[in-house]
Structure 1
Amino acid sequence: MSTIILGIESSCDDTSAAVIRDGVIMSNVIASQAVHEAFGGVVPELASRAHQQNIIPVVSEAIKRAGIAKEELNAIAFTRGPGLLGSLLVGTSFAKGLATSLNIPMVDVNHLQAHVLAHFIKESEDDNDQPSFPFLCLLVSGGNSQIILVKAYNDMEVIGQTIDDAAGEAFDKCAKVMGMPYPGGPIVDRLAKEGNPKAFVLSKPHIAGYNYSFSGLKTSFLYLLRDNLKENPDFIEKNKADLCASLQATVVSILMDKLYRAARDLGIKEVAVAGGVSANSGVRGAFEDYSKRYGWKIHLPKFAFTTDNAAMVAITGYYKFLDKQFCPVSEVPFARVEL
């Protein structure tokens, strides 16, 4: 008998619903919120209101595209945290109501764990290109930069993480001081392809172990702009591609240096990347380069699974459902949590 899971994701500014049958994706619907662009970042109150408007049509469309009736669902998986509390409350409340009405169990999902398990989403029944345990996963997004030792779907250890800012935030903040709209990361990536990555030298942190730091890089970038703008008010416009290329190359170098060290020390050759920054062409190119140089077997997520999406929530819920790890209806979401 098939196991069909509905996944609901509402941790930040994307409302998403997906249906998975026996680990195979049947639908994945995402409604993004353009309202935040005018503010240069996500506004929590506006995000939660948009989730309220989007969640019913998004869930309905996901079930419709999957070609099933809601009565065929075996469980509802939902993102419980971490994330914006107001946004999480919308998804959690809807999951509780739907699960209660259908008399089926709920499965709570850790958003960070879901990003890692996105690599286990199958496109078809004969899709067997999933990582083998144990493997390392570099989780990089606007809010997280972590190196995770993945021993099993329910056994993950964070062995390195940022002590201040995340890589994605560094991209967005540096883009903002150059006058670029939010989100700036994809724009930096696009312009970086046209620039010289060695045009400018930026600060790299010296942090012990496998931990990261990006606050110093942001400060270094800001000072670079400040000093050159004094002499040339058009400095940014004339050097935008080179600035983006240098910034991206520095961020990627910082990320990969620690990841390589962890893989070498642990003797692990299977390495994956996840999170929004895993869509960055510089990161993907570095993974392919390290694969050739060091014999890594790499796993790059499909672009649809790099940003926040419900398919990763549904696959995580699927594995937890098989182990009967259900969530009481009394549970509440949380804004912060360790993996």
Structure 2
Amino acid sequence: MTLRPVRWPVRAINPFSRLQRSYKVLAIETSCDDTCVAVLDRKNSKTAPEVLVHLKNTLDSSSQGGIVPTKAHLHHQLKIGGLTQRALQLSNFPKIDLICVTRGPGMPGSLSGGLDFAKGLSVAWQKPLLGMHHMLGHLLVPRMETNGERPSYPFLSLLVSGGHTTVVLSQSITDHEIICDSMDIAVGDSLDKCGRELGIKGTMIAKEMEKFIDEDPSCAHDTEIQMVMPNPLKNKHNRVDLQAFSFAPFLTAVRNNLKQPIENYTIKQIRSMAYQTQEAIFNHIMTRLSKVIALNRDKLIGVRHLVCSGGVGANKRLRHLLETKLCPNFETFHYPPLDLCTDNAVMIGWAGIELYESKKFSTELEVSPIRKWPLSELLTVPGWTTVD
């Protein structure tokens, strides 16, 4: 990859000249149905940035049975301007030196709402723009509290959300290898769809289902209804299938286990079925993850840290399973703060800070959203450049 240096106009301040002082970052995230804006204060390169403000406005799609891309696009168009104005107002209208925005992966219509707006600000303010990888944000945000010190490279990440279920081996900020991925739907999508079949309501169904289960922990021992759940890929033996997840079969299983309309079941019975469903899905993750670790022993030499990030990474049961079943394989386990597990602009800002300071990267203005963008191909897409 050849990067062409960009020389910013004289009136534009290059944040690299101010690393020992303070520079401000405006971050925007619009990859799905959350319109997110944050302002970060990078006071110096020795301490973690301060989050001056972080705002989020989520499209309410609970009545739609899922996210409608055209409505999500319109939501971002309606909300991004006012939300950014509010964020700048709450942070006392700081002088922004760097603009970070999600470029992909995600829904193109949603991405364009944030990316086009950020490009306009970059032109108006004459400030560098960074089009960031959404999953890189999830992967790096656990490092923010320690200012990038921990987890240290190399480390392994389990990225679990509504759109992705991926195991990534990271050697550096730009060197990532995907060693396990879902062959159908993501774990968050599976949890949402299974929860909907069980009558769970809300915008974030997987989170609501966890809350519903935790209201009565005794449901873990309820044997009144025994669900028959799958163990996907159990009998597969080739390396491709061994290093993969499959979550679509769980939705079919939940439907097959429902012998009558969901409203005919008691709350106790539904809670038990929800627990069994969540447990089966998480056990699948643990089974496949253990296989991946066993098959990649040589690659994982020197890997001491495991990151779990993404919306599903906030689930307490999943964290417990990771730490109890994988304790012999890792010295430490790392997670984002709970409010930064789901999509947010802070992670985009922090990932931008790490990439900007370590590689002096920026993004050309002639770029477009990227719907599919594997982390292993972070630098292969057009549009990267360097700040001179």
Q: Do both share a fold (TM > 0.5)?
A: yes
2:248 to 193, 196, 215: 215
Equivalent residue, structure 1, for 2:346: 311
Alignment of structure 1 residues 137-286 onto 2, 5 Å:
137-182=157-202, 183-193=204-214, 194=216, 195-196=219-220, 199-206=226-233, 207=236, 208-225=241-258, 228-229=259-260, 234-235=264-265, 237-264=267-294, 265=297, 266-267=300-301, 268-286=303-321
Confirm whether residue 104 of structure 1 aligns to residue 127 of structure 2. Answer: yes
Q: Offset of 1:237 from its aligned partner? A: 4.5
Aligned partners of 1:291 and 1:298 also within 8 Å: no
AA aligned opposite 2:281: V
Deviates more, 1:60-69 or 1:207-216: 60-69
Say if 1:103 and 1:209 are closer, same or farther in 2 by CA, change over 3 A. Answer: same
Task: Give secondary structure in 2 for the equivalent of 1:205.
Answer: coil
Say if 1:256 and 1:235 are closer, same or farther in 2 by CA, change over 3 A. Answer: same
**Cα deviation 1:6-49 (Å, max 9, x = unaligned):** 11101111111112233513234233334311112111122122
* TM-align CA RMSD: 2.2
Say if 1:48 and 1:31 are closer, same or farther in 2 by CA, change over 3 A. Answer: same
Task: Give secondary structure in 2 for the equivalent of 1:188.
Answer: helix
TM-score w.r.t. length of structure 2 = 0.79
Q: Offset of 1:262 from its aligned partner? A: 3.3
Confirm whether residue 334 of structure 1 aligns to residue 370 of structure 2. Answer: yes
Task: Give secondary structure in 2 for the equivalent of 1:196.
Answer: helix
- d(CA) in 1 for partners of 2:266 and 2:122? 53
Aligned partners of 1:276 and 1:308 also within 8 Å: yes
Q: Runs of 5+ in structure 1 lacking a partner?
A: none
AA aligned opposite 1:157: E
Say if 1:258 and 1:296 are closer, same or farther in 2 by CA, change over 3 A. Answer: farther
Confirm whether residue 89 of structure 1 aligns to residue 120 of structure 2. Answer: no
Deviates more, 1:30-39 or 1:242-251: 30-39
AA aligned opposite 1:57: G
Among all aligned residue pairs of Structure 1 and Structure 2, give the percentage whose two residues are the same amino acid: 27
Say if 1:333 and 1:106 are closer, same or farther in 2 by CA, change over 3 A. Answer: same
Q: Offset of 1:129 from its aligned partner? A: 6.6
Equivalent residue, structure 1, for 2:4: none
Equivalent residue, structure 2, for 1:58: 83
- d(CA) in 1 for partners of 2:50 and 2:342? 16
Equivalent residue, structure 2, for 1:37: 62
**Cα deviation 1:175-227 (Å, max 9, x = unaligned):** 111222243201221222222277434101125332100112221221111xx
- d(CA) in 2 for partners of 1:168 and 1:281? 14
Structure with the bigger percentage of helix: 1
Aligned partners of 2:55 and 2:87 also within 8 Å: no
Task: Give secondary structure in 2 for the equivalent of 1:35.
Answer: coil
TM-score w.r.t. length of structure 1 = 0.90
Say if 1:7 and 1:201 are closer, same or farther in 2 by CA, change over 3 A. Answer: same
**Cα deviation 1:150-193 (Å, max 9, x = unaligned):** 11121111100000011111111111112222432012212222
Equivalent residue, structure 1, for 2:26: 6
Confirm whether residue 299 of structure 1 aligns to residue 320 of structure 2. Answer: no
Asked which structure has the greater CA Rg, the reply is: 2
- d(CA) in 1 for partners of 2:79 and 2:333? 35
Deviates more, 1:165-174 or 1:287-296: 287-296
Aligned partners of 1:143 and 1:166 also within 8 Å: yes
Aligned partners of 2:26 and 2:37 also within 8 Å: yes
Say if 1:139 and 1:53 are closer, same or farther in 2 by CA, change over 3 A. Answer: same
Aligned partners of 2:40 and 2:51 also within 8 Å: yes
Aligned partners of 1:28 and 1:310 also within 8 Å: no
AA aligned opposite 1:170: S
Task: Give secondary structure in 1 for the equivalent of 2:254.
Answer: helix
AA aligned opposite 1:319: E
AA aligned opposite 2:169: L
- d(CA) in 1 for partners of 2:144 and 2:90? 17
Task: Give secondary structure in 1 for the equivalent of 2:283.
Answer: helix
Task: Give secondary structure in 2 for the equivalent of 1:60.
Answer: helix
Q: Offset of 1:66 from its aligned partner? A: 3.5
Aligned partners of 1:145 and 1:161 also within 8 Å: yes
Q: Runs of 5+ in structure 2 lacking a partner?
A: 1-17, 43-47, 376-388
